[in-house]
Amino acid sequence: IAGVPAWFVLVQKAQLARGQKVFINGAMGAVGQAAIAIAREIGAEIIGRVGSKSIAQAQSIGLANALDYTKPLPNNLNGIFDVVFDCNGSLTPAEEGRLKKKGGKIYDIVPSASKFVRALLSRSRKIIFANVKAENLQRVVDLAVAGKLTLPIVKTCSLDDAPDVLASLER
**% of the chain residues with pLDDT over 70:** 94
**% of the chain residues with pLDDT over 90:** 45
H helices of 25-161, in order, are: 30-42, 55-60, 93-99, 113-120, 134-145
**30 Cβ contact list (under 8 Å, min separation 6):** 2, 151, 152, 154
**pLDDT category of residue 152 using cuts at 50, 70 and 90:** low
Least confident of 69-83, 95-109, 125-139: 125-139
Cα–Cα distance between 148 and 3 in angstroms, integer?
A: 12
Q: Can you name the residues that pair with 125 across neighbouring β-strands?
A: 106
| Strand 65-68, strand 125-127: pairing | unpaired
